[in-house]
Amino acid sequence: MGYGSTGKLLNIDLTNSSIHIEEIGEEHYRLYPGGKALAAYFLLKNTPPNVDPLGPDNLLVFTTGLLTGAPFSTATRFTVAARSPLSGSYGESEAGGFWGPELKMAGFEAIIVKGKAKSPVYLWVNNGETEIRDAGHLWGRDPDQVQEIVRQELGDKLIRVLQIGLGGENKVRYAGLSHEMRHHNGRCGMGAVMGSKNLKAIAVRGKGRYLDLANDPQQLAELGKTLAKKVKEHPLSWDLQVKGTPGLTEGINAAGMLPTFNFREGSFDDANRLSWGAYEKDLLKGRGSCYACAVRCKREVSISASYDVGDKYGGPEYEAVAGFSSNCGVNDLSAMARANELCNRYVLDTISTSSSIAFAMECFEHGLIAPKDVDGLELRFGNADAMLKMIEMIAYRRGFGNLLAEGARRASKVIGKDSDQFAMQVKGQELPMHDPRGKVGVGLGYAVSETGADHLVAYHDTILSNPDSIYFKGAIPLGITEALPNRELSKKKAVTYALMENWSSFGKVVGLCYFGPAPRSFIQVDQILLAMRAATGWDMNIQDLLRIGERAIVLARVFNLREGFTRQDDMLPNRLFAPLQKGALTGVNISKTDFEQTLTDLYTIKGWDPATTVPTHDRLLTLDIEWAADLLKTVQT
Amino acid sequence: MKLHLGGNLSWYDHQKRAYLEITLVEKISLNALLMQLKIPRAEVAIVSVNDEMITDDDVILCDSDAVRLFPPIGGG
């Protein structure tokens, strides 16, 4: 009987074109059941310290989760991980869609790529068989062409093609990966790592069935049917289906947390032009889905207006809406959608791209850079033409785009003149579009996330602040007992944060989308436990699930400590400690003293030394990763 | 009254509308309005009346007001 795993890993060395299949046993998989956990394990075990993120020795790891491909909604995710070229830290990025389930059905839990091919190649993983093929004819082509050519030459329309774009080829430090032109591993620059290896794509076709891997396939299938029916009956999943993340924009603006003019302000005068009503009326053409998912939160769009946008790529999510509108001061829906389309075409992270441009706009307005520095562009807030031009220049690394392709932190070091105050980043990764001055736990997440600023590393304070709400009730089975105000920084907030970070991490390990489990969405905690038990047959409780999540976080932390990261790297940009200038939270800031005290509390709760963030030996022992202590011997404690 | 039911609050409207107009024959408190709309108070985190944030549940609303209601905004 199975336990949700194929038991096989695929090792690829592109330098000598070798392919090697490795077994992974049940005991090992139980500790590292896929996704973030398995990826962090491989990176710690198999990359040398201080590896060049864009060099051949950096490992690029693709992992499915234990539940990836299970026949129920939101069990679709897979992880791409490596040392990040943007932050130098542990880097990872998850995506849903179809590629992860397809890899599992092809017989593999993970693909581990090292080395560098002499010329562009792609991998063809066909139901257990693997081949390294020439990709010279694919290099430089757009994603739709690459997908079409690969499917034609391999003779199967159902092949899933995970690929980099021009951004990855040109090693833009925040280039991502995509498949089907609408599912993106956007963050941490994993596309640049793939490009540095001359690896254009990984084509996968599998004919297995997840249920054949499961311990109790009937129970899993029943759960799938139950959840599919529930999507429309539950307000949270209904909302994700009907509006999706673009439905967030107006509420965040009304709450004063909409990043505007590079996080200077929390409200945008023209937010109504980017509202759900405008999106639905002028942009939306349909709804799309991921593998076996009834939520269908993906947006299909096109528009013919100031800027024309076709239907080739997936529609903008909230992050792109805010990033390319309010945060760059642009009030044109079609310009925002065009920016999203360009990022999808070149396969660039929309968050880091938009935030890097917002950084440059603020530098321009303060006279730190002049038109002559930016190829004659009037790179001011609100200039949609300049914003769009800059995306092209970043992807091609032309002119000033070559500098912005390095990310805001590196660009600020070249520009100098105190421009670093405008670089809204943590550990080098640009902030997502949620202002933590209105929900400070999100700020804790931005700060401590091993990958740099990440809005999905935990759950937002806002959904856990009312004990009678449907959100809060969904979190009670996890051990959440007290609702806390959005802006409270306290030991209690640290306790809540740590617990919810472990829960979010668990999802990233086993392949669940953030839009599946409670408290963010409709699948209740006991149903997740049921799914895990049915898939594995393992006797597990909720604490076991949380420990899976915590173990993965600690492995990523150990990776960072090995690379020389310290507590000082867990800090927010200074702007967030200054008052917001506009909107419902005008005058509100985060108290740096309270923030640092809460970080101290958080590290203590996690079982880490609060001065260094080094996990205690006892904590490693509790998590069954005592071996990681050896890697910390050189870390100053 | 112009009414906007943001995010998942549209789910509570029997026609699942996000933007609607209703007629108020007399003034009404926010709490009473929510009861009429069958929207649980605990699911409403942000209330805006004529573009002003409101924190008082007893605020009195009239037919000419533009009211926007939003749930807690989580991540995504």
* A160 bridge partner residues: A204
Long-range CB contacts (< 8 A, 24+ apart) of A575-578?
Answer: A575/A263, A575/A264, A575/A421, A575/A422, A575/A424, A576/A263, A576/A435, A576/A436, A576/A437, A576/A443
The hierarchical CATH code for the domain A440-632 is: 1.10.599.10
Residue A114 pLDDT greater than 60, yes or no: yes
Shortest distance between the Cα of A312 and any Cα of chain B, in A, equals: 23
Q: Contact B68/A254, CB-based, under 8 Å? A: yes
Pick among B20, B21, B73 to test the A interface (most A CBs inside 10 A): B73
Among A277, A466, A470, beta carbon nearest to B19? A277
**pLDDT (tens digit per residue) in B34-52:** 999 999 999 999 999 998 8
Q: Is B4 on the interface with A (CB under 8 A)?
A: yes
**Residue A293: which pLDDT band, with cuts at 50, 70 and 90?**
very high
Quickly name the fold that domain A8-212 has: Aldehyde Ferredoxin Oxidoreductase;  A, domain 1 (3.60.9)
CA A115 to chain centre: 25
The answer to whether residues A631 and A558 touch, using CB atoms and an 8 Å cutoff, is: yes
Using DSSP, state whether A129 is helix, strand or coil: strand
Domains in chain A: boundaries: 8-212, 245-430, 440-632
The hierarchical CATH code for the domain A245-430 is: 1.10.569.10
Q: Is B18 on the interface with A (CB under 8 A)?
A: yes
Quickly name the fold that domain B2-70 has: Ubiquitin-like (UB roll) (3.10.20)
Q: Is B38 on the interface with A (CB under 8 A)?
A: no
**pLDDT (tens digit per residue) in A325-361:** 999 999 999 999 999 999 999 999 999 999 999 999 9
* pTM passes above 0.90: yes
Q: Is A233 on the interface with B (CB under 8 A)?
A: no
Chain B: residue whose CA lies nearest to A457:
B75
Q: Which amino acid is at A570?
A: D
Among B11, B53, B76, beta carbon nearest to A238? B11
- Chain B residues in contact with A317 (beta carbon < 8 A): 76
Q: Contact B75/A442, CB-based, under 8 Å? A: yes
> What DSSP line would sit under A439-457, residue for residue?
-HHHHHHHHH-TTSS-TTS
Domains in chain B: boundaries: 2-70
Percent of chain A with pLDDT strictly greater than 90: 99
Beta pairing, strands A8-13 & A110-114: parallel
Q: Contact A242/B10, CB-based, under 8 Å? A: yes
- Residues 493-552 of chain A with CB under 8 A from chain B are 514-515, 520
Residue A187 pLDDT greater than 90, yes or no: yes
**pLDDT (tens digit per residue) in A379-422:** 999 999 999 999 999 999 999 999 999 999 999 999 999 999 99
